[in-house]
Amino acid sequence: GDINVQTDNGAIDISNTTKNVQAKTDNGKITIKNANGDIDVKTDNGIIDISDTTKNVRAKTDNGAIKAAIKQFKNDAHYELVTKNGKILLFAPKDINANIVAHVKNGSIISEHEISLAEYTMEINKKTLDQLRKNIQGTIGDGGGKILLKRGNGIIKILQT
């Protein structure tokens, strides 16, 4: 069976599993390490820290940072990281192939990976350049699995491992 954990106040820490994981807490940090099943986690107030994953990931928090490290990313993988207040740090292998959409309301997007942006036509001015720092859609490498990164206030960083 799957792992399903829920708490109102407290941290959740799950390591070394091949099962699908669902975890929810209202107030507390969620840590998932070395998980080889699908991951679906949510906290209202707290940090989410996910590392060494090989399947699909959905992580949402209202107030807190999200740090995620991809171990293996398959062509049918789906990664969704969403926070309203807090930074998103995504660590991905240098040779990853992914389709990526990233959006930040107030802040900017930084990537160590080269991203081929989707084609679109625009005027080049301060407003459009500012929007480009906040909204990207394109491919890393040859494209493949989907990565969706959304945040309200702060920064999104896509870093190489």
Q: Which residues have C-beta within 8 Å of that of residue 124, sequence separation ≥ 6? A: none
Higher pLDDT, 45 or 73: 45
pLDDT at 41: 97
Q: Which of 38, 42, 59 is nearest to 6 (CA)?
A: 42
The continuous run of DSSP H or E covering 130 comes out as helix 126-134
Locate the DSSP E strands across 10-143: 12-17, 21-27, 30-35, 39-45, 48-53, 57-63, 66-70, 78-85, 88-92, 98-111, 115-117, 135-140
- As a whole-number percent, the residues of the chain with pLDDT over 90 amount to 74
pLDDT digits (tens, 9 = 90+) for 86-139: 999 999 999 999 999 999 988 889 999 999 988 777 788 888 777 877 889 999
For all residues of the chain together, what is the average pLDDT?
A: 91
Q: What is the DSSP letter of 141?
A: T
pLDDT at 98: 94
The answer to whether 109 and 102 have CB atoms below 8 angstroms apart is yes
pLDDT digits (tens, 9 = 90+) for 57-78: 999 999 999 999 998 888 889 9
Q: Which residues have C-beta within 8 Å of that of residue 59, sequence separation ≥ 6? A: 30, 39, 41, 42, 48, 50, 66, 68, 80, 81, 82
The answer to whether 117 and 137 have CB atoms below 8 angstroms apart is yes
Please, which pLDDT band fits residue 140 given cuts at 50, 70 and 90? very high
SS3 at position 131: helix
